[in-house]
Homo-oligomer: A and B are copies of this chain.
Amino acid sequence: MILRLAIVGFGNVGQEFARLLLHKREWLVRDKGLDVEVLAIATRSRGSLMSDRGLDLDRALRCVEGDGTLRDYGPESVDLAPLDIIDNCDADVLVELTTLDIESGQPAIDHITYAMQCRMHAITANKGPIAFAYDRLESTAKSRDVKLRFEGTVMDGAPIFNLAEKTLQGCEVVRLEGILNATSNYVLTEMANGSTMEEAIMETQRRGIAEADPSLDLDGWDASAKITALANVLMGAASTPDRVDRTGIRDVRSDDLLAAVADGKKMKLMARAERKGSEVVTTVAPEAVDSSSLFWAVDGTSSALTISTDLMGDITVLETNPWIAQTAYAVLSDLLLIAEWIRCHGR
Instruction: A343 to B345: give the CA distance in the assembly, Å.
Output: 10
Instruction: A314 to B320: give the CA distance in the assembly, Å.
Output: 6
Stretch at the interface among A48-56, A164-172, A198-206, A248-256: A164-172
Q: Report chain B residues within 8 Å CB of A333.
A: 167-170
Task: Count A-side interface residues using an 8 Å CB cutoff.
Answer: 50
Which residues of A does B touch, CB under 8 Å? 20, 24, 27-28, 31-32, 151, 157-159, 162-163, 166-171, 291-294, 296-299, 306, 311-323, 325-326, 329, 332-333, 336-337, 340, 343-344
Q: Are B168 and A159 within 8 A (Cβ)?
A: yes
Q: Report chain B residues within 8 Å CB of A20.
A: 311
Q: Report chain B residues within 8 Å CB of A313.
A: 319-323, 326
Task: List the 8 shortest-distance A-B pairs measured between CB atoms, nearest first.
Answer: A159-B167, A344-B344, A316-B318, A166-B166, A314-B320, A162-B167, A311-B329, A169-B336
Q: Are B329 and A320 within 8 A (Cβ)?
A: no
* Cβ contact of A158, chosen from B297, B315, B318, cutoff 8 A: B315
Q: Are B317 and A329 within 8 A (Cβ)?
A: no
Q: Are B314 and A319 within 8 A (Cβ)?
A: yes
Q: Are B312 and A316 within 8 A (Cβ)?
A: no
Name the residue on B nearest A151 (C-beta): B167
Instruction: A168 to B321: give the CA distance in the assembly, Å.
Output: 17
